Amino acid sequence: MELETRKSDLKALGCDILLLFFGSQKSIKQWLAETKSSFPSFQDSSKNIYSALGLSRSVKEVFCMKTMQYYASEMASDGIIPTPYKDFNEDIYQMGGDFIIDQTGKILFTYRSQTPSDRPSAEQILGTLKNFPV
C-alpha cells in the first residue's frame, strides 16, 4: 500500500488514515495481514457509509478492459494479483474510493474508483492535504 510508505509525511500534515471495509471480520483480518497495513480499520458490513459516500457496485467496471489490462500487466511483471478469499461471501462488484474528511465531518476530497485498481496516488493525496490547514 503506497500510503503506508508515506505515513510520516501524512502525520506531518496532521492526517490520520482510516480503512473502511464492507467484508467479514475474517476477510478484513486476512487482508490486513497480507498487506501488512498498520492503519486502523472499521467494518461497514451494511454498506451504509459506502452508500452515503456514493460508492456504487459495478459488474461492468470490474470486468472492463482497463481492469483486464491491469491484471495482464501485473501477471507479466510477476506482480500480485488479488483473488477473492475462499469461503467468504464478498461483494467483488463493490467499488471503493478515497476521501479526505476534516475534523468537522466536511468532505474535502472525493475520489470514487472507476475500476477495482483505480486509486489516487499518495502524491495526489499529499498535495490535496497541503491545500487545507491543519
* d(C-alpha 121, C-alpha 86), whole Å: 29
CA angle 16, 74, 128 (to 5 degrees): 30
C-alpha cell at 18: 482510516
CB 57 within 8 A of CB 94: yes
14: cell is 496532521
Task: Locate the domains of the chain by residue range.
Answer: 2-130
100 DSSP β-pair partners: 109
* Per-residue pLDDT tens over the stretch 99-121: 999 889 999 999 998 887 788 99
How many angstroms separate the CA atoms of 27 and 19, rounded? Answer: 13
Q: What does the pLDDT read at residue 39?
A: 93
Q: What pLDDT, in 10s, does the model give residues 64-75?
A: 677 667 767 777
